[in-house]
Amino acid sequence: MVAAASVVAAVGTVTGMVSALDEGGGKDQARPKVTKSPTLEPLPAVPTPSASESSAKPSPAKSSAKPKPKPKPEPKPKPSTRRPEKPAANSLYRYGDSQVLDWVRANRGDPRRPLIESRIADQPAAVWFADYSPGTITSRVRAVTSGAGGRVPVVVPYAIPDRDCGGASEGGAPDLAAYDAWIEKFAAGLGSGEVIVILEPDAIALSECLSAGERADRYASLARAGRTLKAANPKARVYYDAGHSGWNAATKQAGRLRAAGAASAASSDGIFTNVSNFHRTTEEAAYAREVLSALGGPSGLGAVIDTSRNGNGAPADGEWCDPAGRKLGQSPTLRTGQARIDAYLWIKLPGESDGCKGTPGTFTPGYAYDLARG
């Protein structure tokens, strides 16, 4: 059923938001080339590839200019007794390379630019790693995490074999052994600071195409991936695929999540919902709590919700491809004020087309403007 699908077709290797992809030559690349668009099918899929290529570099460091001589110190005031706030408590990282930022920089005179810049380009968003590139994946992940400067980056490993059941977002590692090795290299780039990992969108919610044995093997690999990521960086927060409120029943999804290691503190911090979709935050929060309740596991497990395009909710007809009348949702934050809801995130970047208002995966300013003013 179309209404149960995740949203957004992809082309070739798939990404969303910002992507860091290997184009060879030993260089860190961001965003793959867009190839010919496939026939769009109403299948669950994640954000699509962007059109341009550019080097994936960390955000520029602060100026290292020589400071002025210090004046004679004045008497120090008594220290405050207030406990300082954690610097990353509500500070998600905005990576400095994306299609929307490219457009903003190149179109300063466009009358749509101020709204797109302030409401979309200035928001922190996820960084996708959607190709199988074991030779450079560590350095490309590190390029993102090392530039965060105390803020919390959101990264998306997306290379599971048989991705999207051979649909528009097909691709991934050649087999699970190769995927396990790729995840180890991915984990090596996470660093030691706080980082949120959105582990393989659609890998659990969309697995009907696999046989029972293949599903069990995939779930075992995802459980290993979670353990690998958290062992590499104990501050990493790993979330597993729960689909969305219009897809699988909570008990069914919880059973799959449990088989994939999502109920274990050694591999999981909880679940994510609504990636690239439009369901309202209230619907997703209720669904996420229902899934968590059925999942069991530690009481500290939580959920993150993709709120990038859900301001008006999902279309009644189930349309998933750049549906009209949508608008931006809740801004990304780590302070939701909601029980068991850890964050609202922009995992799919608004303005990157699903393939109807623009070439799949490309930033489409007219679509972005409509979302921003909706």
Query: What's the pLDDT at 170?
Result: 84
Query: What's the pLDDT at 83?
Result: 33
Q: Give me the active site residues, please.
A: 164, 202, 354
Query: What's the pLDDT at 90?
Result: 54
Residue type, 60: P
If you count them, how many residues does the chain have? 374
pTM for the predicted model, two decimal places: 0.81
Mean pLDDT, consecutive 10-residue stretches, the chain (374 aa), reads: 42 40 37 31 36 31 32 37 39 94 97 98 95 96 96 97 85 97 98 98 95 98 98 98 97 98 98 97 98 97 98 94 96 97 96 90 94 95
CB pairs under 8 A, 24+ apart, for 25-31? 26/135, 26/136, 27/55, 28/55, 28/56, 28/57, 28/136, 28/139, 28/140, 28/143, 29/53, 29/54, 29/55, 29/56, 29/140, 30/54, 30/55, 30/56, 30/97, 31/99
DSSP string, 269-296: SEEEE-TT----HHHHHHHHHHHHHHH-
Query: What's the pLDDT at 164?
Result: 85
The Cα 181–Cα 173 span in angstroms is 10
Which residues 6+ apart lie within 8 Å of 67 measured at CB? none
46-79 b/e (C-beta count within 10 Å ≥ 16 → b): bbbbbbbebebebbeeeeeeeeeeeeeeeeeeee
Residue type, 209: C
Closest CA to 45 of 171, 155, 153: 171
Query: What's the pLDDT at 76?
Result: 40
- Order of all β-strands in the sheet with 302-306: 54-55, 29-30, 18-21, 127-129, 154-157, 195-199, 236-241, 270-273, 302-306, 341-345
The Cα 84–Cα 66 span in angstroms is 29
Rg (CA), the chain: 20
CB-CB contact of 5 with 315 (8 Å): no
For residue 54, list its beta bridge partners: 30
Query: What's the pLDDT at 169?
Result: 76
CB-CB contact of 39 with 351 (8 Å): no
